[in-house]
Each structure stands twice: as C-alpha cells, then as structure tokens.
Amino acid sequence: MLIKLKGGTVYDPAHGIDGQVRDLYVQDGRIVEPPPGARVDREYDLSGKIVMAGAIDMHTHIGGGKVNIARVMLPEDHRADPQYHTELLRSGCGHAAPSTWTTGYRYAEMGFTTAFEPAVLPINARQAHMEMGDIPILDKGGYAMLGSDDFLLRMLRDGADQKAVNDYVAWTLHATQCIGIKVVNPGGISAFKFNQRALDLDERHEYYGVTPRQVLKTLATAVHELGVPHPLHVHGCNLGVPGNVETTLKTISGIEGLPIHLTHIQFHSYGTEGDFKFSSGAARIAEAVNANPNVTVDVGQILFGQTVTASGDTMKQHANASHAHPKKWVCMDIECDAGCGVVPFKYRDQNFVNALQWAIGLEIFLLVDDPWRVFLTTDHPNGAPFTSYPHLIRLLMDRTFRNEQLSRLHPEAQKMTTLASIEREYSLYEIAIMTRAGAARLVGLQDRGHLGPGAAADITVYTPDDDVERMFAKPAYVFKDGELVVKDGEIVHVTWGTTHTVKPDYDSAIEKPLADYFDRYLTMKLDNFIIRDEEIAEDGRGSITVHPCGGRG
C-alpha cells in the first residue's frame, strides 16, 4: 500500500529540513521516494500541519525490576489515573509508574514511537525485556548496567587488560540483548554493599581498591573500542549531593576526550553557595558541555507533583530515603550485579531545593548551545512522569510562560537562578533535533528519527497551536512503521515494535572465566543466564533489530 502525506510542513533536522512544505510517501512501513506513476492508495492532506519523525525517549524507566517494585508499591498513585478497557485497549494505570499497556498508549498518544530503558541489570534483563514486550506500539531497547558488578571490579583489581574488559562488555550486550552500556554511581552500588556511604570520583572502593574514575575510563574505552554507537551512558557519582558540580566537571575532564553521555545531569549540577548551601551549577556544567564535543547530556528535568524515584543507585537512594513521600521505600542488593532503590517523592514548588532543581534543569537546557548534544528527559519517573513532556517543551519554547511559572516558585529559589534573564526559546527545529534526529544518532538508530527515504515510517503530525503544550500533547496523526496508530491524540490501532540491540564482535574465550565465575559464585548457570533471540521473538509479536557496530579496537 502506498500512502501519501501531502503538503505538511516538515521538520527533519537529519536532512536539514526546517519547516518546508513537502510530500512524504510511505510504502511497506518505510518512507520511500515518490514512485513514478504509482497509484496512491491513501492520501492524508496535511496542509497547515507540522510533520516530524516519531519522537524517541532515550532515557526512561519503563521496564524491569525496580519499575515493577514502584508499580506494586504505589496502589494509591494508580487509583487517581486509571486506564479504561475498550474494544481496542487493555485496562491499566497511568501516572508515576504506569502499567506496560498504558505506557505504550500514552507515549504513542504524545507522538513518541521509541523508548529506551536505561538501567537494565544484566541479571534482571530477562524481566526488562518481558515487561517491554508488553508495551505496545513502541520500539524499545535497554542499556545494560555494569560498573558495580563483581566480575568487572575483580578484573580491574587484578589489572585485567582492556581487551578482556572489551570482551566482557560485548558478551554482556549479547547476553542481555541490549543496545548500550550504562554505569550508575561507578563502583558505588558495590561499595554500599560493603557499607561505604559515599564514593567520590577518586575515592577507593574499600574492598577492591578501585576508583570510580577507573571504572568510567575502562568502560568508556570498551564501549568506544567495540564501536558501540551509543557512548557509555553515565549516571555519575554523588547524585543529588550539594557540591556535586565539582565531581561532574572532573568527570568530564577526566574522561580525556572519550565519548560519554552524562544522564540526568540536572541531578549532578549542584553547588553549595547561598544561605541554604544549595545553588545552581548549571552555567559551569553548560560551559563544560559546550567546550567538550565528546560529551552529550540529557537533563532529567524535575516538574512539581507526586512521582517515584527508581534507580540503581542504592547508595544515594538509601541516603535520601528519609525524604520518601509517602513514607515507604525499598533498597535491594542484587546478585553481585548491582542494586536498586525505589523512593516515592513529591516535588514541591514552595520547597527551596525542589524549586531550584526545576530552575537548574531549565538553565542547562537553555545554556547548552548544541541541541544535538542535549536531550529532553525527565528521567521518567524520577524527575516527573513522561506524560509531562508537552509541558516541558512549552517551558523551553515559550519564555513568557516559563517566567510566569518561575514567578510562582519559592522566592529564595528565584533569587538563586539566572533563568529569568535567559532569553532563548527553543524552535520547533531544535525540539525535533533533541527528541528525534539527535536521539536516534546518539543511540545508533540509522533508520529512525528522520524522514528520509529508507527510514522507518514512524511519523508524527501535529496541529499548530499557540499553546505548544496542547500541540505536543495531542498529535493529529501518529504512524508507526507506516501504520496509523493515533488520530487526534487517541489510539486507533495497536501494533508491536521491535527491540533494538547491538551485537559487537568479541573473543568467546571470555566465556571460560565467566562460566567458572558463575559456577563458583552465582546462583545460575552461565548458559541459563544468556537471553536468546527466541525469548523475545517467540510470541510472534516481538522482534530483534541488530544495529551495526564499527569496531575501533
């Protein structure tokens, strides 16, 4: 079937198209060149509409053990936001920790067609994929967490060579069916198991003697040498700690030019100035990002209201557990692999710290010059539920609205931010970069995030509106792989996306020491640990897409 999308105003930054009226043609799920003389089976008149590729969330906690702990823990949060069963849709719950079905529906209803779970514990990867397997419509993928696993820490302690680490990293990507590698509080999740309560960049893990700097350097090198497109995804040391801006700046300089992605950097951009000993480090962070082209960031914007924080960073989650709202929380030490901490939290606009966190996130968005290197996230659900993205986009695009919101916050926080003086407003083209073209490039998806011939026909069509929040909340049409899935902001058809992975080459000799390690210390056979393709594909709904790696080893 040939579909013609006629006369829409196209924003396709991957091809430098900034608001030009174009026709698009879709055949067999792909965008194609206009086939000469072919009969158009279905035409959509998009004159006056805005056309972008489907949006990509490159960091959102949508599946896996800690998300499910958050769901089961929060019945009171679900009750206020139920999803009704219809002829087409499964029932479920929304808001802070939505059910899998609802996750897919609500992302698609906002024009998102792909999402990446950024904290897949290797031992829990099977669960992450099963949950994501029950998220309809979206493409998905995961970043496998390394850096506090005892196998790697033993390698580092014993001075293993980089080549062996690379093999282990590549093996992990294969075994967990992931597309990237993430490190969370490098070495710190393990250190907490040894009762260390803090671990700064150059502090030694008391058992292994290894520092976070070593872990970061080794993993960033491995990811780079293996040619994995997505740079090492870094949740740094000292999350949430006033003064952590120094650690973050040292992390940037210490990586010595290797590609790294610093995630939810808002939580890592705090100074210690002012009466409350809490201040914005956003300007210094933005300056460092601007000066270091090897660095990309996503913001992890906070927005006010009830949410839940779910993280692999047990050390910091335990430290912050006293702030839980409501008063309940979970910390787990997991399988010599990592851990997780789940702490419900309510961000308040009349709380000085929360108000300043809000401003810091926006300062970073607005002070980082290159929209190809800063990404739109709330670290769902840690800063806010993903359903607040349209509101966040309005904050970026509409200075009047932004300053009006700012004027309602805790007065001392207003004094501690330069936000009111920042004039920048994001353009639609820049929004399309950070949520589409840039995100696809960052993760290594060559056929997503753009509208050129050969691209998957993931397409979102918006109706222009002076209130961009309303515009981004309710697209006129969303196509997933060429099928119309959303019309006027509502699901009209349910499809199933693919799972994006990479499978870099490695020397299988690494499996010998790994098998011995599994037999001696873990509770599962190595061979039972590995997730094989059929586990994802056997239900006839799921599929695996392998993206190429250009080895640099």
Partner 1 sequence: MAKLIAPGLWRQVPSPFCGIGVDDLTVRVGDDGAVTVEERGDPVTRAGFEQPLGDKTPRIDGRPVSLEAAVGRAAELLRAASLPLVAGLAADVNGVRAALSLADRLGAVVDAADSEALLRNLLVLQDSGWMTCTLAEVKNRADLIVMVGGGLERGFPRFFERHVWVDGMFVRADERRVIHLGQAPSAAGRPSPGKAPEVLACDDAHLPQVLAVLRALVKGEAVAAEAVGGIPVARLAELAESLKAARYGVLVWAAASWNWPHAELAVQTLCELIKEVNRTTRCSGLPLGGKNGSQTAVQVCGWQSGYPLRIRFSRGIPEYDPYLNATERLLGEGEVDALVWLAAFDGGQTPPPAEIPTIVVGRCGMTFSRPPAVFIPVGCPGIDHPGHAYRTDNVVALRLYQLRSVGLPSGAEVIRAIERRL
Q: Does 331 bind partner 1 (CB under 8 A)?
A: yes
Q: Does 540 bind partner 1 (CB under 8 A)?
A: no
Q: Does 83 bind partner 1 (CB under 8 A)?
A: yes
Distance CA 240, CA 248 (A): 11
Least distance (Å) between residue 353 CB and partner 1 = 23
Residue 511 near residue 152, CB atoms below 8 Å: no
For the segment 148-167, give every residue that binds partner 1 (CB under 8 A).
150
- When binding is defined by CB under 8 A, the residue of 88, 291, 524, 546 that contacts partner 1 is 524
Token representation of residue 470: 């309303």
**CB-based contacts of 287, cutoff 8 Å, min separation 6:** 367
For the segment 422-461, give every residue that binds partner 1 (CB under 8 A).
none
- When binding is defined by CB under 8 A, the residue of 34, 35, 206, 328 that contacts partner 1 is 328
Q: Does 490 bind partner 1 (CB under 8 A)?
A: no
Residue 181 near residue 237, CB atoms below 8 Å: no
For every residue of 45-66, DSSP letters joined together read: E-TT-EEEEPEEESS---SSHH
Residue 440 near residue 450, CB atoms below 8 Å: yes
- When binding is defined by CB under 8 A, the residue of 336, 353, 422, 537 that contacts partner 1 is 336
Distance CA 368, CA 409 (A): 24
Residue 191 or 297: the one with the smaller Cβ distance to partner 1 is 191
Distances (CA, A) of 268 to 185, 245, 281: 11, 6, 9
**CB-based contacts of 128, cutoff 8 Å, min separation 6:** 63, 64, 65, 117, 120, 121, 142
- When binding is defined by CB under 8 A, the residue of 11, 25, 44, 101 that contacts partner 1 is 101
Q: Which stretch binds partner 1 (CB under 8 A): 117-125, 175-183, 375-383, 466-474?
A: 117-125
Q: Does 533 bind partner 1 (CB under 8 A)?
A: no
Q: Does 374 bind partner 1 (CB under 8 A)?
A: no
Residue 387 near residue 57, CB atoms below 8 Å: no
DSSP code of residue 388: G
Q: Does 478 bind partner 1 (CB under 8 A)?
A: no
Output the furthest CA–CA distance in the chain (Å, rounded): 71
DSSP code of residue 83: E
Least distance (Å) between residue 65 CB and partner 1 = 5
Q: How many residues bind partner 1 (CB under 8 A)?
A: 66
Q: Does 278 bind partner 1 (CB under 8 A)?
A: no
- When binding is defined by CB under 8 A, the residue of 42, 85, 408, 424 that contacts partner 1 is 85
- Count, residues in the chain: 553
Residue 66 or 264: the one with the smaller Cβ distance to partner 1 is 66
Least distance (Å) between residue 304 CB and partner 1 = 23
Contact residues toward partner 1 (CB under 8 A) are: 63, 65, 67-69, 71-75, 78-79, 82-85, 90-93, 97-101, 121, 123-124, 126-127, 130-131, 134, 150, 192-195, 207, 318, 324, 327-337, 342, 521-525, 527-528, 530-532, 535, 538-539
